[in-house]
Amino acid sequence: MEIRLQTSLIAALVSVALAVSVLLRTRRGPEQRLFGLLALNLGAWYLTRLLELALGDGTGSGFFGRLHLVFGVLFPLSIVRFFRAFVAEEAMRRIQRLNRAALGLAVVLLVLAATPLHEHIAFRTALLTYVFLALGGALVAVVRWGRQVESSQESRRLLFLAAIGGLAALFALPEYLPAVGLELPPLGTVLVLLFLYLLHQSVLGSRLIDLYELAGRLAVLTALSFTLAGLLWLLVRVAGETSFLQPVVASLVVLLLFDPLRSRVSAQIQRLLFRDRVLFERTITNLRRRVAHVLEVDDLAAVLMEGFAESRRFARAALYLATEDRRALDLAGALGPTPLTHLEVAPARPLLQRLERDGQVTLEGTLRRLEGHRVRGEDRAAETLYEVAQGLEAMGTSVALALRSDEGELYGLLCVGDASDSFSDDEVGLLRGLAMQAAIALENSRLFQRLNERDRLAALGEMAAGLAHEVRNPLGAIKAAAQYVEASQGSPGEHAGGAEREMLEVIVEEVDRLGRVVGGFLDYAKPGRGDPSPVDAGEVARRTLKLMEPQARTQGARITLVEGDALPPVRIDAEQLKQVLLNLLRNALQAVEGRGEGAITVEVAGVPAAEPRHVELRVRDDGPGISAAVRSKLFVPFVTTKDDGTGLGLALSQRIVSAAGGTIEARSPRGQGATFVVRLPAASRESSPGSAWAASSAGTAAAPRTAAGARGSARRDAVAGAAEVPSG
Ligand code: ADP
């Protein structure tokens, strides 16, 4: 059998087999489908050549000869389409144009192939030109795209890909030469088949996912093809072209050598071409593992900088962490020359906004885009990018990455710089993964800190409560002793001097004050749960008002109670609710003291609009109101503006109300005194047999309301320093 016949047969069978094995797979992506079409096209091309050689007259103008031409015309189209599955959007557009041009030319050539003109050498030359223009065009598109990408590493990789593609096109060249009457040994067929086989392997494994992978594989493939083609050439030389055994022996040799050769060549190429990238990936993976175990914020910077230093790829690195008030970022750790140690958020806003949008910003990309905006005269965009670039340069960084919580809160910035080089897109992708891991570590360390803090505070609280107990016991004895000495001195002027008596009074007063502080503190630190049960808030208010009546009267103040109708009961310990109201009323009386006839109003009303229903108790006074400075920390323990105050009344009230599921808030519109609003949820119906809370009001001054007597009108009770008597 003639050598071209043999190689055509083998090539047709191998191509179709490869195509079928991919196309028959149940799960295939666009690249697998395109590869299947490409291999089918090639198979048909070789098959028609075989048939033409076997059955035709040798001129190439028979039926199969023409079909062979048709598949030859279609082949570049299949290649360009396959290429498109791997290039990015921008390059795609260019290839699309190329695709359309090639398609137009192909149609013309196909039409010509059907006419007697196809035998003309001009047609054949046009065909050859078209094939290489189409392939060359695709490669040029990749090269131009490579010149435009932002990262120089990425650009180098693309150019490399184009070079490999060029080599592949060169391999295909000898296959087309017979069309213009040139005959070469069938080396091209072997090379094309090897390319096809290796591409098939990559496509089947769905591993041609990134450019790095594609370029790496193409490099392996080229080296392999040359090695195997050299072997084949040797065989042909030794055995002679006409040997029948030659293709069989060649196939056997190829089969035997293929796997070991492939892994060797692949390892070598990885080492030579992608060593940096492999090391980089290893560094980042190791770092991610180490960062995952970090529990203290301080350790994070140390772990990161150590890892960067070990890799030797990073000339500079810095970790910035947001300050408590989120207004600035402070340097937590750095590698290389010390960068800015403090970064105010306001001036760095353009950079931070960009980071918020993209997650990372590279200096190289920013400068390129800035140049683009300048060329197009887009001044505002250029201005912003200039500020971004300045921010990056100030930090001495090539890539800045944001460390954010899940909710988007900025925890900090990770900045890295490479003295000699920039980072490629996939390296930036790896860095982004590291930044994400670092953000998780920061979140975890904050939680950990909070837990520690809580435990510490709980222990401190226990100790303080114990201490307060110890202080309270001797206070009683001191007071009793002081009073005894005071009494034993008899009436003033008898024995003792006025100064001594005064001292004794001071002792008793101060002991009382200390007792109040300690008692309040103990109540606050360990409030009893009480006995929460459905309670009539109006009833509790009436009782409390009665208690405050004498004090109001001496002060000349007037307290009015406004009680709404049909109040639902609230679930709270009645004594604790009374305590809350007492605190609020005491504060109100103190606020109106010395301001003529102070007016205090207590309102108890249902909040029907709220669901579930609530009861509101409002205590309003016409005192001086609460200053803004005090209002912001009103419920913080020990905050007081009074000489003899403890600053615990409101804090304790808030604790009681929150424990009952309610809220307490203060309002103080300018010049209108202060109003405290306590909101308590109504007790659910099942747990509030009406009689239970109604009965609890028996024995108090105001008679329980009957539905008939109270409906439709608000009742006004007044406890007053003047002679006003509560009306039924
Ligand atoms: P104390 O009364 O012992 O100071 P509180 O916790 O009850 O402690 O109150 C804290 C502070 O809140 C008071 O010192 C006072 O400045 C302010 N305050 C509370 N109630 C009023 C009010 N009705 N009018 C003006 N200021 C008030």
Structure tokens at 92: 């795609």
Q: What is the mean pLDDT of residues 383-411?
A: 87
Residue 320's pLDDT band (boundaries 50, 70, 90)?
very high
Q: Is the CB of 642 under 6 A from ligand 1?
A: yes
Axis-axis angle for helices 121-148, 89-113 (nearest 10) = 180
550: amino acid identity, one letter = P
Q: How many CB atoms lie within 10 A of CB 616?
A: 19
- Segment 393-417 shows an average pLDDT of 88
- Range of weakest confidence among 8-12, 198-202, 603-607, 632-636: 198-202
Bridge pairing between strands 558-563 and 599-607: parallel
Q: Which of 518, 548, 587, 678 to mutate to test the pocket of ligand 1 (most atoms within 8 A of CB)?
A: 587
* Residue 574 pLDDT class (50, 70, 90 cuts): very high
Q: Which residues of 33-51 are buried (b: 16+ CB within 10 A; e: fewer)?
A: bbbbbbbbbbbbbbbbbbb
Contact residues for 41 (Cβ-Cβ < 8 A; gap 6+): 71, 74, 75, 78
> Which pLDDT value is given to residue 666?
94
Residue 619 near residue 588 (C-beta atoms within 8 A)? yes
pLDDT for 570 equals 93
pLDDT band at 611 (very low <50, low <70, confident <90, very high): low
Nearest CA to ligand 1 atom 27: 626
Q: Is the pLDDT of residue 722 over 80?
A: no
Is the model more confident about 377 or about 88? Answer: 377
- How confident is the model over 628-655, as a mean pLDDT? 89
Distance 572 CA to ligand 1 centre (A): 24
**Other C-beta atoms within 10 Å of 692: how many?**
15
Q: For residue range 466-511, list pLDDT tens digits in order.
A: 888 888 888 988 999 998 888 887 655 555 567 888 888 889 988 9
**Cα(573) to centroid(ligand 1), Å:** 23
Gap from CA of 634 to ligand 1 centroid (Å): 7
Q: How far apart are CA 385 and CA 368, in angstroms?
A: 10
Name the β-bridge partners of 410. 404
272 and 222 Cβ atoms separated by less than 8 Å: no
Q: Could you tell me the two tokens for 497?
A: 């001097």
% of the chain exceeding 70 in pLDDT? 72
Judge if the beta carbon of residue 579 lies within 6 A of ligand 1.
no
Residue 562 has pLDDT above 90, yes or no: yes
Pick from 34, 88, 81, 445: which is nearest to 203 by CA?
Answer: 34
| Among 146, 137, 130, residue whose Cα is nearest residue 97 | 137
Model confidence band, residue 228 (pLDDT cutoffs 50, 70, 90): low
pLDDT at 676: 96
Nearest to 179 by CA among 228, 113, 135, 227: 113
Establish whether residue 630 lines the binding site of ligand 1, counting it when its CB lies within 6 angstroms of any ligand atom: yes
Tally the residues of the chain: 728
d(CA 586, CA 588) in angstroms, rounded, equals 5
For residue 217, list its beta bridge partners: none
623 lines ligand 1 (CB under 6 A): yes
pLDDT of 596 above 70: yes
Lowest mean pLDDT among 189-203, 415-429, 554-568, 572-586: 189-203
| Positive or negative torsion for Cα 177, 183, 184, 185 | positive
Q: Is 622 in the pocket of ligand 1 (CB under 6 A)?
A: no
Quick: pLDDT tens for 666-699. Answer: 999 888 899 999 999 988 754 443 333 333 333 3
Residues 6+ positions from 164 with CB-CB distance below 8 Å: 215, 218, 219, 221, 222
CA angle 370, 374, 380 (to 5 degrees): 80
The most confident of the ranges 84-88, 275-279, 449-453, 505-509 is: 505-509
Euclidean distance between CA atoms 551 and 544, whole angstroms: 12
Give the dihedral of Cα atoms 488, 489, 492, 494; nearest 10 deg.
Answer: 120
Q: What's the CA gap between 309 and 461, in Å, rounded?
A: 45
- What is the rounded CA–CA span in Å between residue 373 and residue 39? 44
Question: Tokens representing 567?
Answer: 């109040």
pLDDT value, residue 91 = 61
Assess whether the C-beta atom of 588 lies below 6 angstroms from ligand 1: yes
Is 583 close to ligand 1, i.e. is its CB under 6 Å away? yes
Atom of ligand 1 nearest to the CA of 650: 6
CB count within 10 Å of CB 323 equals 14
State the average pLDDT over residues 230-248: 63
Q: 3-state DSSP call for residue 163?
A: helix
The pLDDT of residue 552: 92
Residues paired with 329 in a beta bridge: 322, 343
Listing from the earlier edge strand, what are the strands of the sheet with 663-667? 663-667, 674-681, 614-621, 599-607, 558-563, 715-720
φ, ψ at 417 (rounded to 5°): -140, 145
pLDDT, one tens digit per residue, over 56-76 is 776 667 788 888 888 888 888
Q: Cis (ω within 30 of 0) for the bond into 608?
A: no
In DSSP terms, 335 is beta-bridged to 317
Measured in Å, residue 648 CA sits from the centre of ligand 1 at: 9
SS3 143: helix
- 344 and 423 Cβ atoms separated by less than 8 Å: no
Q: CA 718, CA 541: separation in Å to the nearest integer?
A: 11
Other beta carbons within 10 angstroms of residue 455's beta carbon come to 10
Predicted local distance difference test score (pLDDT) of residue 20: 85
Q: Is the CB of 56 under 6 A from ligand 1?
A: no
Average pLDDT over residues 181-190: 63
Residue 615 pLDDT level (bands cut at 50, 70, 90): very high
Instruction: With beta carbons less than 8 A apart as the criterion, state whether 677 and 667 touch.
Output: yes
Rounded CA separation 699/44 (Å): 107
DSSP string, 190-214: HHHHHHHHHHHHHHHTT-TTSHHHH
Higher pLDDT, 616 or 208: 616
Region 228-242: mean pLDDT is: 65
Work out whether strand 533-535 and strand 410-417 pair parallel, antiparallel, or are unpaired: unpaired
Q: Is 602 in the pocket of ligand 1 (CB under 6 A)?
A: no
Average pLDDT of the residues in 548-562: 92
**Residue 236 pLDDT class (50, 70, 90 cuts):** low
Instruction: State the DSSP code for 117.
Output: G
Please, are residues 18 and 196 in contact by the beta-carbon 8 Å criterion? yes
What's the rounded Cα separation, in Å, for the pair 321 and 299? 13
Q: Give pLDDT tens digits for 261-273.
A: 767 776 776 666 6
Residue of 559, 632, 640, 652 to mutate, ligand 1, most atoms within 8 A of C-beta:
640
- 613 or 723, higher pLDDT: 613
Q: Is pLDDT larger for residue 83 or for residue 140?
A: 140
Structure confidence at residue 380 as a pLDDT band (50, 70, 90) = confident
Helices (H) and strands (E) in the chain, counts: 22, 14
- The helix (run of H) or strand (run of E) holding residue 402 is strand 399-404
Are 60 and 73 spatial neighbours (Cβ–Cβ below 8 Å)? no
DSSP 76-113: HHHHHHHHHTTS-HHHHHHHHHHHHHHHHHHHHHHHHH
Reported as a single tens digit per residue, the pLDDT across 142-179 is 777 777 766 666 666 666 667 666 766 676 666 666 66
Residue 79: pLDDT band (50, 70, 90) is: confident
For residue 349, what are its two tokens? 């806003």
pLDDT at residue number 216: 64
Q: Give the strands of the sheet with 316-322, arranged side by side.
A: 342-344, 328-335, 316-322, 410-417, 399-404, 360-362
Q: What integer pLDDT is reported at residue 538 of this predicted model?
A: 94
Could you tell me the pLDDT band of residue 318, with boundaries at 50, 70 and 90?
very high
Q: Is the CB of 174 under 6 A from ligand 1?
A: no
What's the CA gap between 292 and 434, in Å, rounded? Answer: 10
| Residue 634 in contact with ligand 1 by CB distance below 6 A | yes
Q: What angle do CA 716, 721, 722 make, to 5 degrees?
A: 80
Q: Name the E strands within 539-673.
A: 558-563, 570-572, 599-607, 614-621, 663-667
* Mean pLDDT value across the chain: 78
**Binding site membership of 263 for ligand 1 (Cβ less than 6 Å):** no
Statement: residue 578 has pLDDT above 80: yes
CB 479, CB 512: distance < 8 Å: yes
Look at residue 215 in the predicted model and tell me its pLDDT.
60
641 CA distance to ligand 1 middle (Å): 7
